[in-house]
Structure 1
Amino acid sequence: MDNVSLVRIFTLSGINETMNNRIAIFSITLLYYCVILFLNISLMMIIIIDENLHEPMYILLCSFCINGLYGTTGFYPKFLIDVLSSSQEISYEGCLLQAFIVHSFACCDLSILAVMAYDRYLAICRPLHYHSFMTKRRLSQLVCFSWLTPFCIVSINIVLTSRLKLCGTNIQKLFCVNWIIVKFACSDTDTVSSNIISYATIFIYVSHGFFIIWTYMHLIRTCVRSKDDRVKFMQTCVPHLVSLITFLVVIVFDLMYMRFGSTDLPQSLQNFIAIEFLLIPPVMNPLIYGFKMTKIRNRILGLVYVERK
């Protein structure tokens, strides 16, 4: 038998419990999505327009905002359509595409956070060599690494998934997730390759996490010895650290729940747990960086002051 899925349509049954309040949920979700767009696009435009912000740290922050827009666009428009639709279905190809966007968004976030940690390590622990290390070419390579690595890894996962013969169509979530599609594989289908790539992905991003821990060990040790470095740490590393902790908490919580959580919880609570990483970081990150980083905050206050005049 040809090892290719005959499934053409998936049903997203996680949304069923929201049908009684569809207008309220649609309105709140649309407003929230507009806030995400406004905050991230505003921060990006401030960085692009102000030449004083054309520094590696702010360019990486701009990349962070682009990824936030990319990931949320893979979920919110489809969810808004589903809320107003009588049937919540998604095509096989659309499901794979959404799984690709959601997974690559999460992986990109961690890759960008790792690159940002490296940038802060050079700026604080190796200040005399910072500009020789963080050249335009090196910055371009790091930005490409933070995007291309997740895209390549997730692409391999999705391609392997697309070769599976599936025997299920009911996804009990609000959006498509690769490991759930793999779970639909028929009993006679070989999923070894998919599992190997999944474990390799976990290994790569756990390595990212250890790299970030290594950079912060050096950052903290350096900042303890210098008051100026402590000030720099508070201004530039604290927002990064808050973003990192928030991202890790919501992702690890979601992964642990998917693997070991109880299905006896109310569907609405399961839905909230599933979309935490699409709810909290895309709004919190631009707010934290906008208010905590001095140059960006001063630029925002300057714009507000000009508008008032």
Structure 2
Amino acid sequence: MAAFNLTLSESSMFILAGIPGLEAAHVWISIPFSIFYIIGLLANFTVLFIVGKEQTLQKPMYLLLCMLALTDIISSTSFVPKALCIFWFNMKSITVKGCLTQIFFFYALSTIHSAVLVTMAFDRYVAICSPLRYATILTNARIAKLGLVSFIRAVLFILPLPLLLSRQPFCANRIIPHTYCDHIAVAKMSCGDITASRVYGLVMAFVIIGFDLLLIGLSYGLIIRAILRISSKEAHQKALNTCTAHICALLMIYPVGLFSSLTHRFGQGIAPHVHIILSNLSYLLPPMLNPIIYGIKTKELRDNVLKYICRMYSPRAVDFKPA
């Protein structure tokens, strides 16, 4: 603990540079940032509100949507307000403790988000392949236990990232070319040997994402096998519609996230601002688009959202019931 405190006292502040090379456009860049963030907050809080108010929606599928919405809200809030402070007020300083805390929450929430997507893939598998046993296999209590396991996994796997960095001596030049405390960007500020930190971060990224993608691929392999056994085209279409929103969520998070992570480590030929914009988009777009896609593709959720909107604007017309 003494070594930890000594390291922090030697360099108590970092400077977040924002997007190097595009400083003159920071105010303009902040416009889509703030729009995406506000829409994401409104959409995700709407999902939480609707599911919380409607007893009929308090089922495993919608509890998973609430978990996804909650992780999206917290993960985007962990970096967007600070990024906007950089863009608008040039408030670039952040304490080392604050930076390490941001790293933990940011990556832990990403890990939980990935685990929720795996659970949703399993949910779709059970709904399509064993619909008669759905209510007994996936109960609300079981979903809560899976959520707890996801949280414990995230803490155990991600906590070593800031702990390894906390033991590093940081150089006099503590300018981080990013809008948030990215793990590898902070590691590069160290004057010591960061091999363990770099290797652990890379291995964990591949282990967590690789394992989760393997489970998702297995679920969808079984789903496709079950669909191919069905002769009815209408049943094919219904099964595919059941998975559409989840597939869209997967395509938004994994390809861009993996590309951003790999280019940040190995893409020396790519301009720094491209790295930073890509990494920001990979964490900004899913929180905004996930609830919108699920709201459009999920009839029960869509109908309840429309019901509350109608009540908001014409309460008498909605509450009126003919004799």
> TM over 0.5, yes or no?
yes
Structure 1 residues 161 and 281: alpha-carbon distance in aligned structure 2, compared to 1, 3 A threshold: same
Structure 1 residues 87 and 62: alpha-carbon distance in aligned structure 2, compared to 1, 3 A threshold: closer
From 162, 166, 185, the equivalent of 1:162 is 166
Q: How does 1:142-181 map to 2 (within 5 A)?
A: 142-167=146-171, 168-181=173-186
Q: Aligned residue for 2:289? A: 284
2:81 aligned with 1:102, yes or no? no
**Equivalences, count:** 307
| Alignment gaps of 5+ in structure 1 | none
Q: How does 1:187-206 map to 2 (within 5 A)?
A: 187=192, 189=193, 191-192=195-196, 195-196=199-200, 198-206=202-210
| Alignment gaps of 5+ in structure 2 | 318-323
Q: Aligned residue for 1:274? A: 279
Structure 1: which amino acid aligns with 2:301?
Answer: I
Identity %: 26
Shift of 1:301: 2.8
2:308 aligned with 1:303, yes or no? yes
Structure 1: which amino acid aligns with 2:249?
Answer: S
Structure 1 residues 29 and 203: alpha-carbon distance in aligned structure 2, compared to 1, 3 A threshold: closer
Deviates more, 1:196-205 or 1:283-292: 196-205
Query: Normalising by the residue count of structure 2, what TM-score does the alignment of the two structures yield?
Result: 0.86
Query: Normalising by the residue count of structure 1, what TM-score does the alignment of the two structures yield?
Result: 0.89
SS state at 2:11 partner: coil
2:260 aligned with 1:249, yes or no? no
Shift of 1:278: 1.7
Shift of 1:304: 3.6
Q: Aligned residue for 1:240? A: 246
Structure 1 residues 54 and 295: alpha-carbon distance in aligned structure 2, compared to 1, 3 A threshold: same
Structure 1: which amino acid aligns with 2:52?
Answer: I
Deviates more, 1:148-157 or 1:14-23: 14-23
Q: How does 1:1-150 map to 2 (within 5 A)?
A: 4=7, 6-150=10-154
Q: Quick check: 1:117–1:212 contact (8 Å CA) kept in 2?
A: yes
Deviates more, 1:207-216 or 1:2-11: 2-11
Structure 1 residues 119 and 277: alpha-carbon distance in aligned structure 2, compared to 1, 3 A threshold: same
Q: Deviations over 1:56-84 (max 9, x none)?
A: 01100110000000100011111111123
RMSD, matched Cα: 2.5
